[in-house]
Structures are given as C-alpha cells and as structure tokens.
A and B are shown apart, each in its own frame.
Chain A
C-alpha cells in the first residue's frame, strides 16, 4: 500500500489491517502521554483546496500524535488564488520534502492524478475529492460500527468484520463522497447496505452499486437496521431544486423525533445513529436524535484520529524511502 485513494479498490486484508492498527492507536489516546515517536522527522502536508474543519484538524492531530511535522496549506490565501496549478503546488511541496500529502480537492480524481504522476514522490491520502471518495471517513465509520457490532456479539473487535450487519445510509447520496466510500468499504467488509434518498438525490447508475436502494425511510427502518447513517444535505451543492422544501425533506427523509421513538417501538434497541458531520440539526437529523445515547457522532470524531493515525503509520513507516540495508542485526521480529 503506497497511497490511500479510495475504498473501491481497497482489499479486505488492507481494510482489516487499517482497522486493527487503529484499534492500537485508539489505546494511545487514552494514555497519559498521547504521543508515539513512530514518524519522527517525517513531514505531512495537509493540502486543502476545500473548506474543512474536522477532517483537517483530525489529520493534524493524528500526524502530531505520531510525532510527524505538519504543514497546513489552505487554498484560500495561498498562490492557488493567484492561479497556481495543482502540478506547480505539488512540485513546490515536493521540493520542500513532504513525505505524505493529505489532499482534499473539489475536483473528483485530483488525488489519483497526484498519485499517478511523478510530480511528487510522497504517499497521497485522499481526504475527500469532489463527489467521489472520502476513504478515511468510511474507515472511521466502519471502525465505529465494528466496535458496536463486536460489543453486541461479545467478541473482541480486532480482526473482525461486519458480516451480516444491516446499514442504512439516508440523505443526499448524489453529492456524497461519504456514501460512495462507505458503500464500497461496507461491501468489502460484508455488511448489507441500503441507500435511502429521494429519487432526485440519487446518482445515475446507482442500481449498479453493491447495495439496495429505497425511497422510503420508514419502510427501511421497519425492515430492521443495525446502523442508521444520516448524510448532510449539502447546501453549497444544492444548485437545482432537488426537493420542494426543507420541511418536506425533513419530514420524509430526516431522522426526526418520531423516527427516534419508532426505533424503540420496532424493538431495535441496539441500533446506532451515525452522522459524518457537520450536522444540520432539524433538517436531516433532529436534536433529540443527535444527542440521544444511540448517537455515535462524537465517537466517530474520536475514532477519526485513530483511523488517520493508522493510515499515516501504515503508509509512512515502511521501507518507502530508501532500500533496506542488509543488516542482519535486527532482521528477526523480536530481538
């Protein structure tokens, strides 16, 4: 694994490896000294062409906990606003000696372009590209679900997958990279995914995706759901009339107080409510649902740091930089 670009081509073994490593990284967050020396002397660049709070802070915290140096680069207030191209920006960063580039870009495929060209010889981590992929978000969602799923089964979460878990993802699938990454990763891990959205907010070709599609949230809940993920209605991308009014959206596809009560009456006492944030309270999720004990919103943020530590560690710790010197002295695992 040299780059983390998406979950569509992430193998089962690599996905489990990231989740298991994140499990150990999570333990570091509970210690008194929340720092590991693993990436000392490495430089991680956060290259953000699009606004973000939690993803950037999460990557920054992850890199710092692994003792890497972090350079934050926001397109606003940089040469990008003077018209610098992605290539020139990347080559500038390469000249400064970046070991990993965490990139968020408004254009789908920008991280793949960076990884496929020789502009920069660094590990590329996709932190969200256009409406395409957001792999670390999907991994942290899967991590949160796996912890819940193994706690229900009473087994340790390390090494486990999500076989048999019923996950519903509801909301603005059309614009959501989180939904895409989740659908592919959850398929790899063995979960059954149902997408719930108004027809106008489903992309063309969604019937080819490895999931079922529904237009009715109540019917999906009635069939039984173990994890309910609400997606943010992306106001900044709502450039056409996808639904008549926010009130109608909230009533038909939002997770409101009635649906929260319905979970109890349907006997779904172990169903968790997830949201990748930032939340539009009262639109796709009601305050009561977001603050209920079922909500994993804050656990997701916490797990995000662990997942990103695992990704950075696995991409940066290997013998990527120089060929390993044939020293016999520490060739065996535990001497």
Chain B
C-alpha cells in the first residue's frame, strides 16, 4: 500500500475589512429614518418590526431617530420584534434554531404601515419568511423593507425600499454586522468592548 501524497493546502488566511464604522452606521440610519418619514409622508400609522437578532436593535435606533425628527412619536410605542424562525424554508436542512420572542406594539399591525428591519439583505429568504409571519399576525396596509446592508445575490424577487449601503460581494465572503447591543469586539485593543461596525470577511 502506498500513501498518496497530499497536495499542499494553502493556509487559510482570514482577511477582514471594515466597511462601515460607528459614524457610518449612524449616518446611514439617520438617512433611512428620514427616508421612512418621507415615503410615509409623516409618522402616521408607522410600525417598525426588527427581525432578530440584529434587526431589532436597529429598529430601536431607527425609532429613536424618527422620534427625534418628529416629536409627536413615542419611540417605544412603534417598535416591535418579529421572529421568523418557524416560517423559514430551510428548517429541515439546518441545525435546530431556538425561536426568539415576537413582540408587537400594543397598537397591533392591522392597517398600519409596517417597516421590516434587518441587518443584511442577502438571499431574501428571511424576508419571505417574515412576510408569511406578518400574514399570521394581522393585515398591514403597507409592508416596506429597510436594511443596513444589501449585499446582492438575491434568490427571490424581493428588494429593499431603504438601504444603508449597497455592498458588492462575492458569495464566498461573509458580511458581519456587529452592534453594541448584541456583540462585543472580537479582537484588537478594544477586545470585549462595545463595537458598532460592518466587516467583510474573506478566506484567501
């Protein structure tokens, strides 16, 4: 028996590049908040639903910015969280995902203008699941979509109404959104501290 010599495997190098820092994220959210108010012609009937995990903190931040622009708005009263785990189309192909809570504003979503909020728009499958989840909860007048990052590679006919930044990526790359509400810095002198950034990770 002879052993076949293995081809030399190139060492995997993690390349990561920060594409949005804290100030960039803040500016993008401020612009989205004003776009939401503009396209809705005011704050009438607005409900912001964040998709766990990172969509919810973004929704909370957006609500605060909308309230800053329109003092008539109570930010806590228009934000909710929408869990889509049970509506995904990949449940039987993925490790079990524990569901997150769904919390709607006390006004409900019937006849409201619902803005779905997520961190990264990629295949569009999460948003499809979210649309199904909304159908089971009520009947909004309009559903819009706001995302911090649109990285392309859609697999469904879904597009975002408000985009923080369009990022052309290869599907081999990973886009990581880190927010201080859900994450802590993984490296650097700030390791373990608060972090707000969007990073592209590539293995070369």
Contact = CB atoms under 8 A, between A and B. Distances in A.
Interface residues of A, number: 33
A145 to B, nearest CB: 21
Contacts of B122: 329-330, 332, 335
B96 A158 contact: no
A328 B151 CA distance: 13
A148 to B, nearest CB: 19
A37 B99 contact: no
Contacts, number: 93
B30 interface: no
Given A334-B120, A335-B123, A329 B155 contact: yes
Interface residues of B, number: 40
B172 A317 contact: no
Interface stretch (B37-45, B62-70, B87-95): B87-95
A91 B87 CA distance: 32
B101 A330 contact: no
Interface stretch (A17-25, A56-64, A171-179, A195-203): A17-25
A131 B138 CA distance: 46
B93 A322 contact: yes
Contacts of B8: none
Contact of B119 (A31, A37, A158, A334): A334
B17 interface: no
A38 B174 contact: no
Given A332-B174, A334-B51, A21 B118 contact: no
Contacts of B53: 333-334
B95 A329 contact: no
B93 A329 contact: no
B121 interface: yes
Contact of B137 (A23, A25, A31, A38): A31
B93 A325 contact: yes
B80 interface: no
10 contacts: A17-B98, A33-B137, A37-B87, A38-B91, A318-B95, A319-B92, A325-B93, A332-B120, A334-B126, A335-B126
